[in-house]
Chain A
Amino acid sequence: MTDAAAPLLELRDVTKRFGGLVAVRALSFAIHSGEVLGLIGPNGAGKSTTFNLIGGFYAPTAGEVLFESRRITGNEPHVAARMGIVRTFQHGSVFRDLTVRDNITVGATATVRGHAAREARVQETARMLGLEPRLDDPAHALPSGHQRLLSIAIALAARPILLCLDEPLAGLNPAETQEVLEVIARIRGELGVTVLLVEHNVGAVMRICDRIVVLNFGAKLAEGTPVEVRENEHVIDAYLGRAD
Chain B
Amino acid sequence: MPAVLFGVATDGSYFGQLLIWAAAACVQAASLRLVMLIGEINLSTAGFCAIGAYGAGYLGSTFGVPMLAFCVSEVVRLLLTRAEFLGGNSGLVGIVPDLPAYAAIAALLAVLTIVALYIAETSTLGLLFRAIRNHEPLVQAVGINVRRVKIACLAIASAAVGLSGGLQAYANSVIAPGDFSFLLSVYALAYVKFGGDGSVIGACLGAVLLTVISQYMLGLGADQTILFGGALLVGLIVMPRGVYGTALALLQRLRRGGRPAGIAIPVAGDET
Q: List chain A positions with a Cβ less than 8 A from chain B.
A: 55, 57, 76-78, 81-82, 86-89, 93-98, 102, 105-111, 137-138, 140-143, 154-155, 157-158
Q: Which residue of chain B has the shortest Cβ distance to A83 in the bound complex?
A: B143
Q: Is the beta-carbon distance between B131 and A106 smaller than 8 angstroms?
A: yes
Please tell me which stretch of B2-10, B40-48, B237-245, B263-271 contacts chain A, meaning at least 4 of its Cβ atoms lie within 8 angstroms of it. B263-271
CB neighbours of A77 from chain B (8 A): 137, 140-141
Q: Is the beta-carbon distance between B143 and A82 smaller than 8 angstroms?
A: yes
Extra inter-chain contacts (17) besides given A81-B141, A95-B134, CB under 8 Å: A76-B145, A77-B140, A78-B145, A86-B143, A89-B135, A93-B138, A95-B135, A97-B130, A98-B134, A102-B127, A106-B139, A109-B142, A110-B143, A140-B269, A141-B269, A143-B271, A155-B141
CB neighbours of B141 from chain A (8 A): 55, 77, 81, 86-89, 155
| Most chain A CB neighbours (cut-off 10 Å) among B130, B140, B269, B271 | B140
Number of interface residues of B (CB under 8 A): 22
Q: Is the beta-carbon distance between B135 and A109 smaller than 8 angstroms?
A: no
Nearest chain A CB to B54 CB, angstrom units:
37
Q: Is the beta-carbon distance between B142 and A107 smaller than 8 angstroms?
A: yes
Q: Which residue of chain B has the shortest Cβ distance to A138 in the bound complex?
A: B268
CB neighbours of A55 from chain B (8 A): 141
Q: Is the beta-carbon distance between B138 and A109 smaller than 8 angstroms?
A: no
Contacts between chains A and B (CB distance < 8 A), count? 88
Q: Is the beta-carbon distance between B142 and A86 smaller than 8 angstroms?
A: yes
Nearest chain A CB to B199 CB, angstrom units:
14
Q: Which residue of chain B has the shortest Cβ distance to A158 in the bound complex?
A: B142
Q: List chain B positions with a Cβ less than 8 A from chain A.
A: 124, 127-128, 130-131, 133-135, 137-146, 268-271
Q: Which residue of chain B has the shortest Cβ distance to A108 in the bound complex?
A: B142
CB neighbours of A87 from chain B (8 A): 141
Interface of B is mostly: helix
CB neighbours of B127 from chain A (8 A): 98, 102, 105-106, 109
17 A-B residue pairs with Cβ-Cβ distance under 8 Å, sorted by A, are A76-B140, A81-B140, A86-B142, A87-B141, A93-B135, A95-B130, A96-B134, A98-B130, A105-B124, A105-B127, A106-B128, A106-B139, A107-B142, A109-B142, A110-B144, A111-B143, A141-B271
Report how far A106 CA is from B144 CA in the complex, Å. 9
Report how far A135 CA is from B229 CA in the complex, Å. 42
Nearest 5 pairs of A and B residues by beta carbon: A110-B143, A81-B143, A77-B140, A95-B134, A158-B142
Q: Is the beta-carbon distance between B137 and A106 smaller than 8 angstroms?
A: no
Q: Is the beta-carbon distance between A158 and B143 smaller than 8 angstroms?
A: yes
Q: Is the beta-carbon distance between A109 and B128 smaller than 8 angstroms?
A: yes
Partner of B131, one of A57, A95, A157, A158: A95
Q: Is the beta-carbon distance between B146 and A78 smaller than 8 angstroms?
A: yes
Q: Is the beta-carbon distance between A81 and B131 smaller than 8 angstroms?
A: no
Report how far A140 CA is from B128 CA in the complex, Å. 17
Q: Is the beta-carbon distance between B135 and A157 smaller than 8 angstroms?
A: no
Q: Is the beta-carbon distance between B124 and A109 smaller than 8 angstroms?
A: yes
Partner of B140, one of A78, A93, A142: A78
Report how far A57 CA is from B146 CA in the complex, Å. 13
Q: Is the beta-carbon distance between B143 and A95 smaller than 8 angstroms?
A: no
Q: Is the beta-carbon distance between B138 and A141 smaller than 8 angstroms?
A: no
Report how far A97 CA is from B126 CA in the complex, Å. 13
Report how far A102 CA is from B145 CA in the complex, Å. 18
Report how far A94 CA is from B143 CA in the complex, Å. 15
CB neighbours of A158 from chain B (8 A): 142-143
**Given the contacts A140-B269, A142-B271, A110 and B142 also touching, CB distance less than 8 Å:** yes
